[in-house]
Amino acid sequence: MTGLTRRSFGAMILASSAAACAPRADIPSRDDYLEGYGPLPDSGYSLPGIPTEYLQGVNRRMTGFYNGEQGPNTLDIDPFAKFLYHIRADGTTTRYPVGVGRQGRSITGSATIRLKRKWPGWTPTQNMLRTEPEVYGPFAAGLPGGLRSPLGSRALYLYRGSRDTFYRIHGTNDLESIGNSGSAGCIRMFNQDIIHLYDQIEVPMQVHIRDRAESLRVDPENYERGIELPPKIIDPEELLGPEAEALDRPPVLDEA
C-alpha cells in the first residue's frame, strides 16, 4: 500500500477551486476511531482514519428513516444544513455530513448523476482559468487521479440533460470543512463517506439540491449549521513539484 505521508496527505488539496480539498494536516497515530472511519486500504493507497474530533454530534454517517420531501432512490442534498441523504426504496436513508463551497450553494433543484469515478483526475474549467488565472493558471494542464487530485478518492458528476453542470460530489482531506462552508468547492465528503456512498449507488441516479426555503422547512434545527471558513491557498509546488510527483503514483483500479 502507498501510505499518505505528511506531504502526500497535504498534496490532495487545492483551495479556491470548484473542487477544493484540504489544508495540510498531521496524520494521527491512534486506534480509537469510530466505526466506519478508521484507516482504509483503497486502490493501492492507505487512507488515514478520521480523528473523532471531526465526528462530533451529527457530523458523522448515520442511518435511519427519511423525513424529507424526496422520493426513494434519490440523493437529497441540503447545502444549508450540510447533509447529503441517500434515500433507499424502503424509506430508510443514510445521512452523510458534507462541506459546502461556493459552487455547492449555486445550484438548486434536480440533476442526475451520469458518471462516477474512482480516484478521478481534475482540470480547472475555462471559467476558472479566466476569472482567477493567478490561482488556476499553474494547473491548466490538470492533475491526474491519485493523491494529488483535489477530487479525492471518488467523484460523482451531476448533469442536467446532456449538459455537465460542473457540480461535483467528491472526497476531501479537508477534515475541518465537513459540516462547514467555504469560499470554494462543490460538495465535499470525508473519503470514507464518499467511498461508502459510491458503493451504494448506481448511475444514472436522481439528485435533488434543496434551496433555502426547503432547508428551513424540512430541517430548521440544523439550518445554517457550521461556520464560514477562510480561503486556504497552497503553493503550486506542493502539487506540481518533483517531490509531489515522486510521492504520488497512479491508483490501482479494479473497475471503472
CATH code of residue 143? 2.40.440.10
By the 8 A CB rule, do 93 and 81 touch?
no
Is residue 166 classed as helix, strand or coil in its secondary structure? strand
- pLDDT score at 185: 64
Q: Does residue 123 lie in a domain region?
A: yes
pLDDT, tens only, 13-68: 343 333 433 333 334 445 689 999 999 999 999 999 999 999 999 999 999 999 99
Q: Is the pLDDT of residue 7 over 70?
A: no
By the 8 A CB rule, do 207 and 160 touch?
no
- pLDDT score at 81: 97
- pLDDT score at 104: 54
Q: What is the mean pLDDT of residues 150-176?
A: 95
For cell 481534475, the residue is 122
User: Would you place residue 107 in the very low, low, confident or very high pLDDT band (cuts 50, 70, 90)?
Assistant: confident
In 21-102, the DSSP E strands lie at: 40-42, 45-47, 62-65, 74-78, 83-87, 92-97, 99-100
Range of the domain at 123: 2-55+99-247
Q: What is the mean pLDDT of residues 230-256?
A: 86
Q: Does residue 173 lie in a domain region?
A: yes
- pLDDT score at 232: 77
How far apart (Å, rounded) are the C-alpha atoms in residues 224 and 215? Answer: 9
Cell digits for 6?
A: 505528511
By the 8 A CB rule, do 10 and 24 touch?
yes
Q: Does residue 69 lie in a domain region?
A: no
In 138-217, the DSSP E strands lie at: 154-160, 163-172, 187-190, 205-209
Q: Which of 39, 10, 38, 11 is nearest to 25 (CA)?
A: 10
Q: Which residue has the higher pLDDT, 254 or 130?
A: 130
Cell digits for 183?
A: 469560499
Count of domains forming the chain: 1
- Mean pLDDT (the chain) is 86
How far apart (Å, rounded) are the C-alpha atoms in residues 81 and 216? Answer: 9
State pTM to two decimals.
0.87
Q: Does residue 218 lie in a domain region?
A: yes
Q: What is the mean pLDDT of residues 92-118?
A: 90
Q: Does residue 63 lie in a domain region?
A: no
- pLDDT score at 15: 35
Residues annotated as catalytic are 170, 186
- pLDDT score at 182: 81
Q: Does residue 74 lie in a domain region?
A: no
Is residue 200 classed as helix, strand or coil in its secondary structure? helix
Sign of CA dihedral 115, 132, 180, 211: negative
Q: Does residue 68 lie in a domain region?
A: no
Q: What is the mean pLDDT of residues 88-93?
A: 95
Q: Is the pLDDT of residue 191 over 70?
A: yes
